[in-house]
Amino acid sequence: MRLNAVDLACRRGGREVFSGVSFRLERGEALAVTGRNGAGKSSLLRIVGGFIRPGGGRLWLDGGDAELTIAEQAHYLGHQDAVKPSLSVFENLQFWADFFGDRAIRVHEALEAVGLSAIAALPAAYLSAGQRRRLSIARLLAVKRPIWLLDEPASTLDTAGKARLAGFMQSHLAEGGLIVAATHGELELSAAQELSLDQKNRSRATEALEPAEAAP
């Protein structure tokens, strides 16, 4: 399985966020997307996830299930945790496991792995931000999908949580999965390619600014 992107561009609200982004990701490889705030890290992940249409370029998957789109073979872990406060921790995860199908491990095993099994019956309204994030991560473990799209996955996790997440990511890669992660460098992934959205666009960004500054 290989994820290819050639010359991807992204336009949001009429403004070019980035262009000319290319990468090639093989089985068992990770891509760390870096860049300043607003460089388009989240937008790139959302393009790969099929939520927004690319402004240009091509994106395709070799060797995946031809019947399914990339989005249907990918886990998306965004800034929002998709946790319903009135459902219990267990019910939240149970729903996603049932909805997506393709169980990898049982729901309570996934909760055990992220350290939430003791509060499985608690309504999710009482969870802290870090615990909600752990619950989202449990979704990646409970449902088997080859591509993980992680948008700053470690942002609300404590040190132990970050270590656990790194372990999950390593074992996903070891099983031949693909990971695209937007990060500020807090994730320690061995053998990750790095894609910086900064250098490519710095010249374009200043070009776009100059006429506005020159105007009286």
> Binding residues for other proteins, per CB under 8 A?
49-53, 68, 71-72, 74, 76, 78-87, 91, 94-96, 98-101
CA distance to 70, 148, 188, per residue, from 50 (Å):
7, 13, 27
How far apart CA 147 and CA 11 sit, in angstroms, is 24
CB 171 within 8 A of CB 28: no
Smallest distance, other proteins to C-beta of residue 133, A: 12
- Minimum Å gap between C-beta 71 and other proteins is 5
Nearest approach in angstroms of CB 74 to other proteins is: 7
Q: Using the minimum distance from each CB to other proteins, give the nearer residue, 50 or 57.
A: 50
Task: Rank residues 62 and 98 by Cβ distance to other proteins and give the closer one.
Answer: 98
Smallest gap, in angstroms, from Cβ of residue 77 to other proteins?
9
Cβ atoms 61, 70 nearer than 8 A: yes
Cβ atoms within 10 Å, residue 71 = 16
The answer to whether the beta carbons of residues 75 and 149 sit under 8 Å apart is yes
Give the CA distances from residue 102 to residues 10, 40, 46, 73, 124, in Å, rounded to whole numbers and listed in that order. 32, 31, 22, 11, 24
How many CB atoms sit inside 10 A of residue 6's CB? 14
Cβ nearer to other proteins, comparing 99 with 211? 99
CB closer to other proteins, 87 vs 119: 87
Q: How far is the CB of 66 from other proteins (least distance, A)?
A: 14
The nearer residue to other proteins, 149 or 205, going by C-beta atoms, is: 149
Q: How far apart are CA 29 and CA 55, in angstroms?
A: 26
